[in-house]
Amino acid sequence: VAAALETFGQIDVVFNNAGIMPYGDLQQVSEETWDEVQAVNVKAMFLMCKAVLPHLLQRGAGSIINTASVMATLTEPGYEAYTTSKAGVIGLSKALAVSYAEQGIRVNALCPGWVDTPMNRKVAENLGGMDKLYPIIKRQQPLGRMASTREVAYAVLFLASDESTAVTGSALYVDGASTASI
């Protein structure tokens, strides 16, 4: 926060975009791994929000966008730590939105589905290649493909812009209809 203020003079937007996603059944996940996932995926966002809020409150404006995941509301076996953390990101975002809306601070969660990222390329590698991953994507994400990082960036840009001044406390799903499907 101090470096951004020194460089740019003010902060208008905070984009908290971090996450780790270890696989492991709850019985296999160590307490240390559980704590690490919660620290990276939720606590880091809490700490950044806490650090930037005084500046945003002084300005009386600002947008905070926290990356959650479609897996905050949909999950599969072996991702209990990740799912719990990303549900926490949505909860944190909603709570902050309610607490600071009257002071001009907007807080939203972004919930991507399958996105073409290094983390998902690693998933493909662990499965034996993209040809092993795509049937899973087609089954889980009716769009039938991963979103590009550019497509996700445009959703972030919208939430950061003055075009979304009435949007706060929302979880915006960029998930290729994953949450609309049964």
Catalytic residue positions? 82
Cα(69)–Cα(171) distance, rounded to whole angstroms? 9
Using CA of residue 112, residue 17, residue 40, residue 165, what is the dihedral sign? Answer: negative
At residue 102, what is the residue type? E
Q: What is d(CA 170, CA 164) in angstroms, rounded to the nearest whole number? A: 11
Show the tokens assigned to 182.
Answer: 């049964």
Burial label, 19 (beta-carbon count in 10 A; 0-12, 13-18, 19+): buried
Distance of CA 82 to the CA centre of its chain: 11
CA–CA distance, 174 with 154 (Å, rounded to integer): 10
